[in-house]
Copies of this chain bind each other. A is one copy, B any other.
Amino acid sequence: MPLSTDQQAEIDQARDGTQPTRRAVVPALEEILYQALPALDHGFVRVVDYMGDDAAVVQAARVSYGRGTKKVSEDRGLINYLMRHRHTTPFEMCEIKYHVKLPIFVARQWIRHRTANVNEYSGRYSILDNEFYVPRPEHLAAQSKANRQGRESVLAGKEAERVFDILKKDAELVYEHYLEMLNEGEDGAPLDPERSGLARELARMNLSLGFYTQWYWKTNLHNLMHFLSLRADAHAQYEIRVYADLMVDTLKRWTPICHDAFLEYRMGGASLSKTGLAAVKRMIAGEKVEQKSSGLNPREWRELMAVLGLG
């Protein structure tokens, strides 16, 4: 359960009641506004604000005065054109803000995308909660031997049990010691009135990377889609992909036409190298092309075969 009763009450209150606005409104996104969409064992993604919609992309591309009277089909045609030809600036005219709760090792991967605004909960000022990530059995992957970055079949039996045991017990231990060094009980009262307690900015270093942190993360539609194209990809680490997948759903609610164009031209499409393209041309001409005659090295050849659904 990611939320306390107080937190849920604050969210309910924020969702309760509406006000009139002259701005573009997206009912499908308003429906889930502020709601915590669960991710992993204790995390979530919440859309907390947004600006613009599909029409705002069109409006910016045309630098127009009004909301436009064009038909939806024309909007779709223009958005597809912009996406296909990488005219990215009109997509920068929409903005979205998320509140995300996520394990620190995921946050460290995420923050590498610098084109966003971030406010993170501070372990210098505040005490972090006792919540840490433990993978579910089906995600307890073994290290791939072929690919240094990859996972392979999951661990099982005694090995899996041992890993669960370590992750859980170590997290409990370091958190208990964190509170002891801070000289704080879970209720906030000093454990020992005689002691001072270590500075929060120091004590936090005893926590491990599986503990949850949270932040407000705001970005524009173009940068969001770039982030999602990398993090909703099959090569991304499972633990960040869970968040990206939820955000693809919010993208669909927010800007359905851009979402479709994103799937058509980014996620579902493919990039061919110069040599790969030459090989494809020969294949289309009916030639039988082999790796050796393709000019591609074995790894690139395998990647091309995978893209083409061959081999």
By a beta-carbon cutoff of 8 Å, the part of chain A in contact with chain B is 3, 6-7, 9-11, 13-15, 17-25, 30, 33-34, 49-52, 56, 59-61, 63-67, 77, 84-86, 89-90, 92-93, 95, 97, 99, 103-105, 108, 111-112, 114-115, 117-121, 123-126, 133, 135, 140-144, 148-153, 155, 159, 162-163, 166-167, 170-171, 173-174, 177, 180-182, 195-202, 204-210, 214-216, 218, 220, 230, 235, 237, 263-265, 267-277, 280-281, 283-284, 286, 297, 300, 303, 307-310
Query: Which residue of the partner chain, among B34, B263, B276, B277, contacts A274 with CB atoms under 8 Å?
Result: B263
- Which residue of chain B lies nearest to A68 when distances are taken between CB atoms in the complex? B10
- Which residue of chain B lies nearest to A215 when distances are taken between CB atoms in the complex? B63
Contacts of A195 in B (CB 8 A): 159
Given the known interface contacts A51-B49, A97-B93, A205-B133, the answer about A148 and B125 at a Cβ–Cβ threshold of 8 Å is: yes
Given contacts A20-B21, A270-B277, 4 further A-B contacts (CB under 8 A): A105-B205, A142-B198, A264-B273, A284-B308
- Which residue of chain B lies nearest to A303 when distances are taken between CB atoms in the complex? B84
